[in-house]
Copies of this chain bind each other. A is one copy, B any other.
């Protein structure tokens, strides 16, 4: 629990990359960490309610994740999928036999009237996770990609079509009708909240859906806690996933400046990679530089520590400013 004492933190996260940093944070913070997860990737498949980013977070924090892929469960078997293929069923979305239990149990509880928040809390408890894991909303928000191949539901674009269509526009259907949940408001209004960390997830596909929930930006700001992000772009490339490709398709230069400009107005500070150190002085917000590539658990914990220290530094600077203003 380190030097952060009784302070709590909130992380905003998408899937694999975000879950890696969340794991580092959870090693430092345990129950003092709340992860707010993107649910724009959620979809209904084979009659099942699937929440890919929530599950990646749960499996990662529970040390159940497949270390080869970063998603799904370790020591997984695929008999359901192979049998489904033999019956002519759809197999473009991989569902392992163990993973399937999560989706079936989630679906069963949703049909019984439980909220996604309550179900996620139940799953986290069952998996022995000490951090709190919260979906960004309890009503469906669905990321939709307008592309040169037509309008695609997110998982059609991301998994089925392997991000090959050229993205023209990204929407978050249902966001207008969503609301920040009481559990998110509660986590963001704690007096001991010491920082908010936006994980190195895709800003357009993973973080913007969270920020699109009405009341979310206001709740983040009203928390009074420093908000920092870890860049998902290093040297003009994404470590994983289609972030750089999508940025180019949206007419954006896939570099650290674009990331900084995208987050202006929400962030107090941006953690950039050593590779991009030279660009730091010209960026439109406070930055700090470190190694942001997480190969090992130690890397995840180191980056998490760095983020917490950055929050503390920003808070103390703000304190100085406030003091200066008061004189």
Contacts and interface: CB of A to CB of B under 8 A. Distances in A.
**Copy total for this chain:** 2
Contacts of A248: none
A219 to B, nearest CB: 30
Interface residues of A, number: 31
Interface string A80-110: 1111101111000000111111101101100
Given A47-B108, A104-B46, A108-B89, A98 B122 contact: no
A111 interface: yes
A79 interface: yes
Interface string A95-131: 0111111101101100100000000001100100000
Interface in A44-80: 46-48, 73, 76-77, 79-80
Residue among A100, A101, A105 with max Cβ neighbours from chain B (10 Å): A101
A80 B105 contact: no
Contacts of A47: 47-48, 104, 107-108, 111
A92 B97 CA distance: 18
A87 B105 contact: yes
A88 B46 contact: no
Residue among A46, A47, A76, A79 with max Cβ neighbours from chain B (10 Å): A79
Closest 7 CB pairs of A and B: A83-B101, A79-B97, A97-B97, A84-B101, A83-B98, A89-B105, A87-B105
